[in-house]
Amino acid sequence: MTVFLLRHGQTRGNLERRYIGSTDEPLCAQGREALEGIRPPEADCVYVSPMLRCRETAALLYPGREQIVVPGFRETSFGAFEGLTYEELKDNPAYQAWLDSAGAAPPPGGESKAAVRQRVTEAFLALAARNGPEDRAALIVHGGTIMTLLEAFEAGHRFYDWQAPNGGGWWCRWQDGMLTDVEKW
């Protein structure tokens, strides 16, 4: 299966560099405008996170196409850190502990990296089981979802190696239980 991993367009929270994982923000005007120039690849199926910003991005890039909502593709819940910026959190001991753990410990009221990985990889494996080797799947999801998938299923790279800008992403192939031939899109 060919897999196109695309990060949603910009939201106001993205512009302000806020943690907006489980905050259900719409795209901002700049985010919509930036997506207007994107010509997405052909896809047999369009899978989306249930979050509004992903559904709006998919509607702009694949107008009139059915969106298959995958609850497991939602972004990480940042719990008590939702809606806040680094500047607002930098002196918070709980935030420093979370950063020091590289996300292994959950933020207060949020999800750990391991919990997110389990949720996202299970959702992807279920999707992969429904698609054949010639299928083309577009996943309109979140930066954290993309990084989680590529860290889990691509050999040799780490989580932060897979950062994608809003409206950007990666092409790859799903074969033999791995994501291979990964190219920046």
Give the model confidence (pLDDT) of 84-140 as tens digits. 999 999 999 999 999 999 888 999 999 999 999 999 999 999 999 999 999 999 999
Q: What is the pLDDT of residue 31?
A: 97
Q: What is the pLDDT of residue 158?
A: 82
pTM of the predicted protein model:
0.94
Handedness of CA 48, 17, 113, 105 (dihedral sign): negative
Task: List, in sequence order, every residue forming a beta bridge with 108; answer none if it has no partner.
Answer: none
Q: Which domains does the chain have, with CATH numbers?
A: 2-184 (3.40.50.1240)
